[in-house]
Structure 1
Amino acid sequence: MSEEAIIKADEASGEEPFDAPVRRNAGEPSSDEDVDALIVNLDVYEGPLHVLLELARVQKVDLRKISMIKLVDQYIEFIAAARARSLELAADYLVMASWLTYLKSKILIPTVDDGTGEPTADEMAARLAFQLQRLEAMRKASDALFAMPQLGLQVFPRGLPEGVRVLKTPLWQADLFELLNAYARQRVAAVDRTYKIDPPKVFSIEDARARIERMLGAIPEWTDLTKVSPPKDVDAPAASVVASSFNAALEFAKNGALEIRQLGHFEPIYVRRRRDAPKAAATMTTDEKTEALE
């Protein structure tokens, strides 16, 4: 009789079906176990290899009674079957088997404390078990990611996607001191204050006139006004320096001490000392000349 006929006969008789254990060969996983798990069948243990390592760590399985020959033979059979599926899987279990062999060698060989700080067999077993747990967690996370709906397979983007609007609601958390501090800052900011305007930095006309007066003897020929202006390291804007120098040059030209010439619009302004200028007029300012005429 087939398995389905036996189940139907049990249901018709009203008796619960007998769930007998099914024996499986070494290296063959059960239906509810991972198909990528290496199932070993040794004298003192039968099950996945990573569980064997965990039991060895908690000392429930004596590694000294495990046959390395059987373990290697079963590992070779598993690798031959898993090579077609995943080479990384075979490499992982190769590391497990090599570590298990190394742990057994550490147990069989007497430990000698040489002061090098080499980890013991229990410590190495704990580290290996932790690495296996991390590997299993990463595999489960990878399977969970691939089990999610994939863009272009299960879900598809819209032709005209809409922007996602995010509404933020602030949640204020403050104690009494912070509230009083904020209130005090607002009250202090509301107090009337005297607005004080800092005077701008300018190059005064008096300084420009004094500089041109000192340079009258050095400009017998036509010279660009910018060369007569103070150097760039003066603590004043360049526009103020040019304007003050031009104003002072106009005053000297009005007094008859300078000649000013410009060849065209927006062209450089040239100045030179007037050769027949009177000495008194060369040193008099506009206000002094006006007072002298009166």
Structure 2
Amino acid sequence: MGSGLAVAPLGDASPLPPSEQLLLVLDGFEGPLDMLLALGRDQKVDLTRISILELADQYLAFVAEARKVRLELAADYLVMAAWLAYLKSRLLLPEPEGEEPSGEDMAAALAFQLQRLEAMKEAAAKLFARPRLGIDVHPRGAPEDLDLHRKPVYEVTLFDLLRAYGAQRARKDSSVLHIAPIRLYSMEEAVQRLSSLLGRMPDWATLASFLPGGQDGGGQGGGLLTRSALAAHFAATLELAKAGRVELRQEGAFAPLYVRSRREDGPADGPAEPPEQ
């Protein structure tokens, strides 16, 4: 019963003289635990060290005096008085054998309930002490149409400004790498060149003679353009041979590659020197 009682947080009950405590204090209570808490405060001791026997005696005496004046005393106060009388008997008499809780356990449960009620009272007092909307604090009415101007303020040193300026100048003066586009020969260009030159070739001619710059492939300084022209013309001769437009001939491995227009009659004779272009 000690752990199942209802707890109702109330305002602080001020200690009163015995002559005034009967009616005034009773009107401020709403449950048995509130009365026990008020009586415990009258002892001026910590709730963890409160004497359950002394508290029970005070409670029983209070209820006995109150019933002489007010017969309509609340029933829960009488129930608590009966339970405290039972608790007092359990504390004074030897412990009976059985599974019922001992008097010390019941007293500890009652003390725990008093501590809980004390904490709830303190929390309620702190909560109601805060400013309340509509009583202590009032919200503003219609908002005003004000122009809001934001002005950023930077907290920097002179060194920070100089460093930022130097970084900006370094980014501005940095050189940009420009890569010029490279001129390369495509196979389509090589096919067009070979098609236009093979019609004027009377006999076999080396593939190098069709390259831009002459037979030795030294055009354009022998650079990337010349190498791309050689690769493009070689691929172009293969495509033309596949199409049946030219004939290819090579005397041995790594020997010069000869090319001429395809002829319908007559055997293929030996290679001849290419004509001057």
TM-score, with length taken from structure 2? 0.31
The answer to which structure, 1 or 2, has the higher relative contact order (CA under 8 A, 6+ apart) is 2
TM-score, with length taken from structure 1? 0.29
For the pair shown, which has the larger CA radius of gyration, 1 or 2? 2
